[in-house]
Amino acid sequence: MTERTLIKDLAAASDGAISVSGWVDTIRDQKKVQFVVLRDESGATQLVHPKNFAEDGTPLADELADTISALTVGTFLTATGELKHDERVKLGGVEIKLDGLAVVSEAAVSPIAEDSSGDKRMDWRFLDLRVPKNSLVFKVQTTFLHALRTYWVERDFIEIHTPKLMASASESKAELFEVDYFERKAYLAQSPQFFKQMAQPAGFGKIFEVGPAFRADPSFTSRHATEFTSVDTEFSWIDSHEDVMKVHEELLVAGFQAIKDKHGDEIKALYDVDVVVPTVPFPRVPLAEAKRIVAERGYEVPRADDDMDPEGERQIAAWALETYGHEFVFLTDYASSIRPFYHMRHEGDAALTNSYDLIFNGVEISTGAQREHRIDVLIEQAKEKGLEPEELDFYLDFFRYGVPPHGGFGMGLSRVLMLLLKMPNIREATYLFRGPTRLLP
């Protein structure tokens, strides 16, 4: 049996016997010749079969032609034949003259079409992902995460995997999914925050994690999900949140450079997006100043809780692009009233925290901060937030036996991909989306 060749490798292969496997993308069954576009995980190629005729033009028995005529789009098959390089062939400059077809799995008529609604496409996600534009997202994701891991590993960060079942909240009880856990209640982790901080008194120094996180947030926006992949890092011996921002921007530069190098042309062809590798440092704007800038642009942030709303994020991002030519902007110095109890507060001004949000193309993708490492201060800040220190004892114990100053961030992976590719909805950038009304497939 001829060994299977990936379609992306056909251009470099020599003319002659070849075998490819994949699914039928399109069929053109003409009077004298048949064309099948076959697609695999690496690309698409053209299969060709001239029909058999007698000298007087009478069609002859042709089993292969009959097999091709009966094919349905989506059928998985193996094709064998003669590879021929021909620059006139638009699809990769090669084609395969068929000797035989072996149907592996016949496909029914697809329930979705190019103009199907987003919900219907999500219902049939495995078919939706056969479209090259949709599957490209996950090739980009793979390259991005590999670049991040390379950055971390080359700088001696340690990868950890934290539990996703927790005994208590890491942030807000209002956003917890409660689950039965034998004779008690447990909660799905909103973030690995407590456990990545635990690595600091453990002496790990620098850690990272890429894993699932869960938020019981009944939001139906284009950027929210109830389960998402969180990209997290935490490290010791920092002076302020500025140290965290520096690592954050360097990490993103590494990731975007890798994406541009490997997928830039394909992203341009399928998404009409030019991948821009950001320059460092990213612009940094204190939140109070950002609100003033947004107000000068004609928009008043209506929230009374000291935060920035979505339109404010879009406006400050537009300002950063106009002023600095930059798609990223750090908003810094958030009020302690809206930040978690474990964020360190400004020295001399407890109303502000050593924290930031990172805005990318008008949407927040990450929150980072320097953490409070002094046990007495942590306890008081937890009480201020209405938390019972007794319920946090396992966490507070981390700080009773010596812990260095540290900080880190958590970043939503699918949001980054959505905004990079300028996609309309986070569902498009998620392999299998979970939201308030979606648990299938």
364 assigned binding-site residue: yes
- Which helix (DSSP H) or strand (DSSP E) does residue 251 occupy? helix 241-271
Annotation-wise, does 367 bind a ligand? Answer: yes
State yes or no: 415 annotated in a binding site. Answer: yes
Q: Is 414 annotated as a binding residue?
A: yes
H/E element holding 280? none
d(CA 228, CA 211): 8
The number of angstroms, rounded, from the C-alpha of 142 to the middle of its chain's C-alpha atoms is 9
Query: Does 380 appear as a known binding residue?
Result: no
Q: What is the DSSP letter of 255?
A: H
- Non-local CB neighbours of 404 within 8 Å, separated by 6+ positions: 200, 201, 236, 237, 373
**Which secondary-structure segment (H or E) carries 219?**
none
5 a known binding residue? no
In whole angstroms, how far apart are CA 403 and each of 18, 149, 203? 62, 25, 8
- Residue 371 labeled ligand binder: yes
Yes or no: say if 140 and 263 are a contact pair by the CB < 8 Å rule.
yes
Residue 258 tokens read as 């890798």
Helix axes 132-154, 413-420, angle to 10 degrees: 120
Residue 245 CA to its chain's centroid (Å): 20
Report the SS3 class of residue 156. coil
Residue 139, Cβ neighbours under 10 Å: how many? 17
- Of 61, 78, 68, 71, whose CA–CA distance to 4 is shortest? 78
Pairing mode, strands 94-105 and 43-50: parallel
User: Which residues are annotated binding-site positions?
Assistant: 171, 215, 364, 367, 371, 412-415
User: Which residues are annotated binding-site positions for ATP?
Assistant: 364, 412-415
User: Which residues are annotated binding-site positions for L-aspartate?
Assistant: 171, 215, 367, 371
